[in-house]
Structure 1
Amino acid sequence: MTLHYRSSAMARGPTHSVRLQPCKVALLLAAWLVVTCQFASGPGLPLAFKVLSPWRFKEILDYRTVTAKTYTGLPLADFNGKVRGTIFKSFARQQDQKLNPGADIQDAKAGLCVNGQQRSQGMAEYDWLRDGVRVQFKSSQMQFNKDGWQVRFRNVKLNKENPALSPFDDLLLGLYTPRGIFLYRHDLKLGLSTDGIRTEISGCQITVNGPRRAPWPEALDVILEKMDGSGCTRLVFFSLGDAMLSELAFESRKGKVPRTYLGLPLADVSESARGKCLHDLVKAVDIVLNPACTILEADTRGWFRGQCRVECRSAQLYWHKTKRCWEFMFKSIKFQASGIRESTTMGELLLALYTPRGIYIYRHDLQFGISKVGVQTAVLGHKIEVNGPKHVEDWQVALVAILQKFDANTNGCQCLAFIPFRRMEGWSSNELALAEPVQD
């Protein structure tokens, strides 16, 4: 059975009423419910959730930050921050070898965690060794923050009082800008500051600001002047079309996540920007589902529905290379936990599952899938991690398995709504603005 579409204008415009016999109305309604269930969630999932047209939330799905608009169409702009950071680290290591011909470049020695266990290679306290020198690399996209452009490098585990005691010897910074990529050696002083309660665990941050309300070219010139006028050393500049960089980007596009989300809504924005969009979308859905309640914004984490404080977290279905499975991971959730956090203001937790099929919204039962993140838990909060079956590379099969975990009778999670990206075969994401289902 096919679900028919009509243009938005037609859907919202005047229509002629048609009288149908009660039995025909019942048959049509039953058929539509069956089709809705099939395309929305695959086999095995319940009907007790609302399927909402993406057209309702087009303004949210189409939203782009000043930063995203500035980088639109530029190389690497469509990668998320994590993938782009991995590309830049590989690129910087290759450039470090070129700048130091004959040097012995080796992988970092991972060392041990505070509990004595062996660290994974990805958790090493520096990135590579150059003739025994421990090199740490950090990258940052030049971005617009409130009323000005800046570069900010986070999680720099530098000992401010005595830099010689830091877990690295050489700090390289990569600035990803609309003009190109600048590679600097940092002087361990410029722009260095603490990062609130995160500092002890995650490290310091380095921030260099441009002038307020200046266009990005002017702001970049000022940022570079500050860098060049300090003890930092500019090592090299590369255009975004550099052949080596393009090759690394090409290899990264072969990964499962970039291929899977290509062309879908919110796939071309940063993780933080997508999180903001999904927060706004879930709040809009909460308003739809609770029309009699007053919804008031609380902060970037949630809102009040009447007297209940609702918090929202989002996560993307992504392929975990080490675990060899697809998974969701929701971070920084401050649950009440004995010995860690004695109380919480959170009354309800809503989760947005961002998938290639669309966005699922669940009410969490405050128990399912929760785990600690080591010593960081007290400061950063818990995480919720839900994995698909190992070694199953088909995201659709993995997603069905994960949703079945959410919907199992062994927990109290509840699917509230689903916003599909494609409601029929061949309907591409760029048609979101052109088509709307007759039924919602």
Structure 2
Amino acid sequence: MVQRFMAGVRRLLPSRGLLVLAAWLLVALHCLGRPELEGRSLPAAFRVFSPARFKEILDYRTVTSRTYQGLPLAHLNEKVRGSILESLVRRLDQQLHPGSVIRDAVDGQCVNGVRRGRSRLSYGWLRDDVRVQCKSSQITWNKSHAHFIVCFHEVKLNVDEEAPAAFDELLLALYTPRGIFMFRHDLKFGLSRMGINTAVTGSSIVVSSRSGETNWSTALDVILQKLDVSGCERLDFVNLDDKMLLKLAHVGDDCSMQQAYLGLPLSDLSSKARGDCIARLVRSIDSVLHPSCTVDDAAGCDWIRGQDRVECKSSQLCWAKTQRLWRFIFHGVKIQARGIREEAVFDDLPLALYTPKGIYVYRHDQGLGLATHGVRTQIEGHVIQIYGPSGVEDWRSALDAVLAKLDAGTNGCQRLAFVPLRRMM
């Protein structure tokens, strides 16, 4: 390893200067100080980029993130926050029905016969014999239509009148800078079908403010008024400093995943907004790595490099509580597959791994970790799943194991670049 590093120094000094040398030195010293990496060499051709080069991208904040900045729950990702809000609504439901018995939902099976996990249950809990489903959303800025909206996703209503409904009652939790509003939905208001996706992913419930209204408080008043005059019923309101909410939020704060990303660039963005920022960053890196190629916008993929269609997928290193492991899952990978898709929508597939250390960029070989996604595969595409070791709670060790899989000579993946987001540990 040392000999390879010194050879790199001799090659780099005449032509690239001290900045590139410093980057190589950081990586080399980082690896030499890690016993678990001894005997494993890093890919020879990958580049280390200073985060300062992408300052505009990494400093980007959406209108929504600025609106919620510093508020309770705002620093949590959508999944953790949604779980907290569901727990809150369940407790409020018990308070509103003191004589009822609240029980966990019965597992049941997915359409493919596999037993449903907790996150895939068709309803949240039983209140006596009533199957209650809870959906949560926050008020967000819709840039395309220049207004604030609330959107509750994957509401799986009965689309076939002869089939039994998945739930009996739908409760909505609306997370706002003012507090949390709880509604009972009438199963009609604001419903938006998702075309052919509806049967698989469900409908959405969308309520919007007036176009051009940039003040979130005024927009929220409009949205609440629309809900109040509909067939929906406002059931409760919880301040953001409510003791019960803060106690539930404290559990989320204790999550090792939240601690790992605390204060990191892009960590307070939604998954979609962060994915858009990372795609911009990878596109910039792609231009540097292919200086002789023109990089242009394209329909059907993220960009065109020369004659190649490039599709960038990003994922965050996340802790899977049920499986007790760290993992990356890249969604919407539309490869060629018999009976599903005649041809891939891309020629090159860079993967961006968003981690507490920084962003790793790989060229994927369209094979490693590739898996179907149940009935969603035909519409949404395949997924790429790369797991850390089961039972290993330390994200650093898990990340090393994941990178070892990607760097292994048994696959065609290639590490292209790394952007450190904090001092190397």
Give me the TM-score of the superposition, normalised by structure 1. Answer: 0.87
RMSD: 2.2
Distance 1:377 1:31, change over 3 A: closer
Distance 1:410 1:236, change over 3 A: same
1:148 match: 147
Distance in 2 between residues matched to 1:364 and 1:68, nearest whole Å: 31
The one-character-per-residue Cα deviations of 1:314-370 (angstroms, maximum 9, x if unpaired) are: 001111111111111101111101111111231100100001111000001111110
For residues 301-312 of structure 1, what are the structure 2 equivalents within 5 Å? 302-312=302-312
| Deviation larger for 323-332 or 35-44 | 35-44
Give 1:32 shift. 6.4
| Deviation larger for 29-38 or 232-241 | 29-38
**Are 1:344 and 2:344 counterparts?**
yes
Distance in 1 between residues matched to 2:135 and 2:178, nearest whole Å: 19
Among residues 24, 27, 39, which one is paired with 1:33 in the alignment?
Answer: 24
State the SS of the aligned residue for 1:78: coil
The one-character-per-residue Cα deviations of 1:160-198 (angstroms, maximum 9, x if unpaired) are: 564983210000001111111100000111101201232
Give 1:38 shift. 3.7
Give 1:423 shift. 3.6
1:94 match: 91
Give me the TM-score of the superposition, normalised by structure 2. Answer: 0.90
The one-character-per-residue Cα deviations of 1:390-429 (angstroms, maximum 9, x if unpaired) are: 111111111111101001111100000000112456xxxx
Distance 1:367 1:102, change over 3 A: same
- The answer on whether the counterparts of 1:37 and 1:47 sit within 8 Å (CA) in structure 2 is no
2:133 match: 136
For residues 21-420 of structure 1, what are the structure 2 equivalents within 5 Å? 33-39=24-30, 43=37, 44=40, 45-146=42-143, 147-160=146-159, 162=161, 165-214=164-213, 215-298=215-298, 302-420=302-420
Q: How many residues align?
A: 404
Structure 1 residue identity aligned to 2:224? L
Structure 2 residue identity aligned to 1:201? V
Distance in 2 between residues matched to 1:84 and 1:271, nearest whole Å: 13
- The answer on whether the counterparts of 2:371 and 2:382 sit within 8 Å (CA) in structure 1 is yes
Distance in 1 between residues matched to 2:156 and 2:76, nearest whole Å: 26
Structure 1 residue identity aligned to 2:260? T
- The answer on whether the counterparts of 2:335 and 2:345 sit within 8 Å (CA) in structure 1 is no
Distance 1:353 1:288, change over 3 A: same
- The answer on whether the counterparts of 2:314 and 2:354 sit within 8 Å (CA) in structure 1 is yes
Distance in 2 between residues matched to 1:188 and 1:34, nearest whole Å: 60
Distance 1:205 1:286, change over 3 A: same
State the SS of the aligned residue for 2:265: coil
Distance in 2 between residues matched to 1:252 and 1:23, nearest whole Å: 49
Identity between Structure 1 and Structure 2 (%): 52
State the SS of the aligned residue for 2:61: coil
Distance in 1 between residues matched to 2:313 and 2:369, nearest whole Å: 14
State the SS of the aligned residue for 1:55: helix
| Deviation larger for 339-348 or 231-240 | 339-348
Give 1:207 shift. 0.4
- The answer on whether the counterparts of 1:358 and 1:418 sit within 8 Å (CA) in structure 2 is yes
Distance in 2 between residues matched to 1:279 and 1:265, nearest whole Å: 15
Distance in 2 between residues matched to 1:401 and 1:186, nearest whole Å: 45
- The answer on whether the counterparts of 1:109 and 1:121 sit within 8 Å (CA) in structure 2 is no
Distance in 1 between residues matched to 2:11 and 2:169, nearest whole Å: 77
| Deviation larger for 35-44 or 200-209 | 35-44
State the SS of the aligned residue for 2:365: coil
Distance 1:243 1:341, change over 3 A: same
Structure 2 residue identity aligned to 1:115? N
1:3 match: none
Give 1:115 shift. 3.1
Residue segments in structure 2 that go unaligned for 5+ positions in a row? 1-9
